[in-house]
Amino acid sequence: MNCRPEDMLVYAVTDRAWLKGESLKDQVEKALKGGVTFVQLREKNLDRRLFLEEAATIKELCDSFHVPFVINDDVEIALASGADGVHVGQKDMDVKEARRRLGPGKIIGVSCKTVEQAKAAEAGGADYLGVGAMYPTDTKSDTSQVTVETLKAICRAVDIPVVAIGGIRADRIQPLKGTGADGVAVVSAIFGQPDIEAAARRLKETAEMYLGRHRRRKTVLTIAGSDSSGGAGIQADLKTMLANGVYGMSAITALTAQNTTGVSGIFPVTPEFLAMQIDSVFSDIRPDAVKIGMVSSGELIRVIAERLSYYKAENIVVDPVMISTSGSRLLDEDAVGALKELLLPMAAVATPNIPEAEVLSGICIRSSEDMVRAAEIISREYGCAVLCKGGHRLNDANDLLYRDGGFCWFMGRRIDNPNTHGTGCTLSSAIASGLARGYSLEQAVERAKEYLSGALEAMLDLGSGSGPMDHGFQIP
206 catalytic per annotation: no
Which residue among the candidates 420, 426, 434, 449 is catalytic per the annotation? 420
Q: Is 138 labeled as ligand-binding?
A: yes
Q: Is 43 labeled as ligand-binding?
A: yes
Q: Is 20 labeled as ligand-binding?
A: no
425 catalytic per annotation: yes
Regarding beta strands 262-268 and 247-259, do their DSSP bridges make them parallel or antiparallel, or are they unpaired?
antiparallel
The angle formed by the CA atoms of residues 431, 437 and 438, to the nearest 5 degrees, is 95
82 catalytic per annotation: no
Q: Is 144 labeled as ligand-binding?
A: no
408 catalytic per annotation: no
Q: Is 229 labeled as ligand-binding?
A: no
> Is the Cβ–Cβ distance between 313 and 351 less than 8 Å?
no
Q: Is 188 labeled as ligand-binding?
A: yes
Q: Is 235 labeled as ligand-binding?
A: no
Q: Is 139 labeled as ligand-binding?
A: yes
424 catalytic per annotation: yes
Q: Is 92 labeled as ligand-binding?
A: yes
Which residue among the candidates 422, 434, 438, 467 is catalytic per the annotation? 422
389 catalytic per annotation: yes
Which residue among the candidates 33, 239, 389, 449 is catalytic per the annotation? 389
Q: How far apart are CA 443 and CA 201, in angstroms?
A: 11
Q: Is 284 labeled as ligand-binding?
A: no
Q: Is 167 labeled as ligand-binding?
A: yes
Which residue among the candidates 390, 425, 434, 467 is catalytic per the annotation? 425
Q: Is 111 labeled as ligand-binding?
A: yes
Residue ranges for the binding site for Mg(2+)?
73, 92
Which residues carry out catalysis?
Answer: 389, 420, 422-425
Q: Which residues are annotated as a binding site?
A: 40-44, 72-73, 92, 111, 137-140, 167, 187-188
